[in-house]
């Protein structure tokens, strides 16, 4: 009876070691900024929230998309202003195109509860665009408020854009 318990204990210790090694493999540092790069499909990803938001914007539903922000009135105003500048049909086309091939999500970076999604916009000459999210409880929302972690993520995005980090 002690052998199964001993084996279970040993497996548990090895499991923790493997989890630690996997986490360390994704930990990165840039100019003193420590961050994690999430694997595609990670359970801790903000990508699903981004896809839902982009789908709402492609439908022209600014109000519901803005509600997915930690500064919803500010986000609604920014989106309304953008739609007024480019027109309704172009607004919808751009956001529909944003999340469809050949455009693609190339990286997700996290510092604490804040995440940066890096998109390769093939339709815009392979420009790299970023979206910032923050975990609030069990869900992610768009991070529209200035803070230190977001500022660090902006520096990480600048490094991607400058070729210092490869997607």
pLDDT tens track for 37-96: 999 889 999 999 999 999 999 999 999 999 999 999 999 999 999 999 999 999 999 999
Angle, helices 88-98 vs 47-58, to 10°: value is 150
What is the DSSP secondary structure assignment for residue 126, as one 8-state letter? T
Q: What is the pTM of this model?
A: 0.81
pLDDT of residue 15: 44
- Indicate if the alpha-carbon torsion angle 120, 125, 128, 132 is positive or negative: negative
Residues forming beta bridges with residue 139, ordered by sequence position: 136
> What DSSP element (H or E) covers 145?
none
Sign of the C-alpha dihedral computed for residues 46, 52, 53 and 58 taken in this order = positive
Q: What are phi and psi of 90, to 5 degrees?
A: -70, -40
Residue 104, classed as helix, strand or coil, is strand
Q: Give the helix ranges, DSSP H, for 27-87.
A: 47-58, 62-66, 72-86
Q: With beta carbons less than 8 A apart as the criterion, state whether 50 and 117 touch.
A: yes
The string of pLDDT tens digits covering residues 92-146 is: 999 998 878 999 999 999 999 999 999 999 988 999 999 999 999 999 999 999 9
């Amino acid at each position: 009876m002690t052998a199964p318990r001993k084996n279970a204990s040993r497996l548990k210790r090895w499991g923790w070691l493997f989890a630690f090694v996997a986490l360390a493999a994704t930990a990165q540092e840039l100019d003193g900024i420590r961050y994690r790069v999430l694997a595609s499909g990670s359970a801790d990803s903000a990508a699903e929230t981004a896809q839902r938001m982009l789908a709402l914007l492609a439908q022209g539903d600014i109000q519901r998309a803005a509600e997915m922000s930690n500064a919803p009135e500010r986000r609604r105003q920014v989106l309304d202003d953008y739609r007024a500048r480019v027109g309704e049909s172009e607004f919808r086309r751009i956001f529909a195109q944003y999340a469809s091939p050949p455009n693609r999500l190339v990286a997700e970076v996290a510092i604490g509860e804040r995440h940066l999604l890096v998109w390769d916009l093939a339709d815009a000459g392979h420009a790299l665009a970023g979206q910032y999210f923050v975990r609030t409880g069990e869900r992610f929302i768009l991070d529209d408020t200035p803070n230190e972690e977001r500022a660090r993520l902006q520096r990480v995005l600048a490094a991607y854009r400058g070729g210092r980090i490869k997607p």
